[in-house]
Structure 1
Amino acid sequence: MKGYQSSHLYRISVIARHTFTQLVRMKVFYFLAVFAVIALASNFFDLPQHETPESLGINVLRSIKSWSIGTMTLFSVVLSVVATALLLPKDVEDRTLYTVLAKPVPRFDYLAGKLGGVLLLIFSSLVLMDILMTAVLHVRSGIVMNQQMELATAQGWPQDAINAMLNDTVAQGVTWSLQGAVIAIFIRSAIIASIALLVSTFSTSTLFTTIVSFLIYFIGNFQADALDAFLKTSETLQKVVTGLVSLILPNFQLFNVIDAVIEGQIMPLMVLVKLVLLGLFYAGFYTLASWFIFSDKEF
């Protein structure tokens, strides 16, 4: 049994590495990567968005976090949908799928490996962007703190007030909660990629897979508000329907905790654990559903 499980993990890892290499070679993702790097690196400079009255002092750090997290979110969502939507049609077109399944490779291993390759690419990209964001925030935090010290000293502030101001600045810089927000972005991307994988198993068009996946993502961002507005009249019915809908469609509003981190709030560890468990559930649920549909298809 142990050797059987090891063979499954080995096949999945091989397919994941091959998928990662395959995606890296697609030039369309170089454009996304360059855009993300430019957007993040631009925070090193004094651009117009950093020179408004709302972006003075520690607010410039919030602005940098907002731009950086926004760039990471856009990059990860687009990459998770587009990359996954391209995989199955490309393998069918290149006839790679027929070769892999004829070896034979279990279809679940094939799907899990494909999803793993996409997630590996997203994870690697987010790590690089996180390093760049951390460097930007570290440099900017030092500049802001020096400016605050000079101003406070010149105005004769008491030491307690200076220390409180510096503590507020540190809270707006590089924190563990900010790293938790990046992890949350990855978890959300994993859910979206698994949704795109499911759609691609019964879709015959990359465009259809992309549109439907983005549509489900946007629905997930508003499903809680829609259900509250639609089912106010019956509490029991609301609980039943909400439970059924939430089982199928993830509530992406749970990831709004990222916005609180941008404002300098602390992300509780239990919130991050909840998001991790949520990601594991939906990624596993959609992967199993993909396997159920994919296993009946003839190639």
Structure 2
Amino acid sequence: MPSHISRILVIAHHAFTQLVRMKVFYFLAVFAVILIASNFFNLPQHEGPESTGVNILRSIKSWSLGAMTLFSVVLSIVATALLLPKDVEDRTLYTILAKPVPRLDYLAGKLLGVLLLVFVSLALMDVLMTGILHLRTNMILEAQVAMAERRGWPAEDVLLLKKDILAQGATFSLQGAVFSVFLRASIIASMSLLISTFSSSTLFTTIISFLIYFIGHFQADARAAYFAQEAGTSDSWIAKALTLLVSLVLPDFQLFNVIDSVIEGQVLPLFILGKLTMIGVFYAVFYIIASWFIFAEKEF
């Protein structure tokens, strides 16, 4: 077992350093940083002055989490789609497989390298977002409390205002939302790895991965509508079994849409985060084992 882990870590380190050199990574990183930095600019507000500060903090979280989601999805798909074809083109794959390296270790190492890059990228963006939120929260809190005191608000209302503003700042739920973005990226990366094992085209892998990703956002609605239509029919149990099988293979990405509630300042329960973690681990393991079965039969 230690030898397997050491091989996986070596392959993951090679994949990580290989991906860091990709120009697309720097382009997406700059794009994401620009989106987060744009939150320094205040947009016109139509609500009252007591709501302005809360809306600014919500805007920061909305743009930041949106940038993280876009960055992680695109990077996970593109990076994973490029890994196997590039190793074949550079003949690195032949060198690795010529050694006593199990193909499962090779695939696991490649996937781990992608996930490590995504994790480090999201962590850096999270630090930037948290820093911006901390600064803006303190500035807004000071300005809003001063405004409330000038207007003669009761002490209870001032405390409630402070609580509402702090709830929109950097909280544990916000970190949980960032982690849910990483979990979704993990599923997408492992899914792209599966597609790349039977596809010889990077473009095909990328397009199909994006297609499955978008389908995953409508799977729950389509499944509910189909069950409602087939209810009461004699062969409904067969249809339900097939539908459940499809839902087992194709993840429901709507489950990871906890960002909206966190942006509104709601608390993300720990059991929801634990549920998303188990779903992410399940699909990552499921896809990598399926990738291994396909990759083991390929001739190089």
Shared fold, TM over 0.5: yes
Q: Map 1:1-299 to 2 at 5 A.
A: 5-43=1-39, 45-47=40-42, 50-53=43-46, 56-235=52-231, 237=237, 239-299=240-300
Do the aligned residues in 1 keep the contact of 2:137 with 2:166 (CA within 8 Å)? yes
Give the superposition deviation at 1:167: 0.2
CA–CA distance in 2 between the matches of 1:293 and 1:140? 51
CA–CA distance in 2 between the matches of 1:23 and 1:52? 42
CA–CA distance in 2 between the matches of 1:143 and 1:242? 51
Give the superposition deviation at 1:197: 0.1
| TM-score, normalised with respect to structure 2 | 0.95
Count of residue correspondences: 292
Amino acid at match of 1:85: A
CA–CA distance in 1 between the matches of 2:182 and 2:240? 29
Report SS of the residue matched to 1:193: helix
Give the superposition deviation at 1:46: 2.1
Amino acid at match of 2:292: W
CA–CA distance in 2 between the matches of 1:53 and 1:183? 33
CA–CA distance in 1 between the matches of 2:120 and 2:69? 14
CA–CA distance in 2 between the matches of 1:21 and 1:227? 41
| TM-score, normalised with respect to structure 1 | 0.95
Question: Deviations for 1:112-149, whole angstroms, at most 9, x for unmatched residues?
Answer: 00000000000000000000000011111111111111
Measured on the aligned residues, the alpha-carbon RMSD in Å equals: 1.2
Amino acid at match of 2:79: A
Amino acid at match of 1:131: V
CA–CA distance in 2 between the matches of 1:115 and 1:151? 52
Amino acid at match of 1:135: G
Aligned residues: percent identity? 66
Question: Deviations for 1:208-253, whole angstroms, at most 9, x for unmatched residues?
Answer: 0000000000010001101112221334536424421221000001
Amino acid at match of 2:149: T
Q: Runs of 4+ in structure 1 displaced over 6 angstroms?
A: none
Question: Deviations for 1:3-54, whole angstroms, at most 9, x for unmatched residues?
Answer: xx000000000000010000001112111111111211222x224xx33326
CA–CA distance in 2 between the matches of 1:46 and 1:84? 35
Give the superposition deviation at 1:57: 2.0
Give the superposition deviation at 1:256: 1.4
Do the aligned residues in 1 keep the contact of 2:227 with 2:240 (CA within 8 Å)? no
CA–CA distance in 2 between the matches of 1:147 and 1:70? 27
CA–CA distance in 1 between the matches of 2:243 and 2:261? 25
- Where does the alignment leave 5 or more consecutive residues of structure 2 unmatched? none
CA–CA distance in 1 between the matches of 2:240 and 2:143? 53
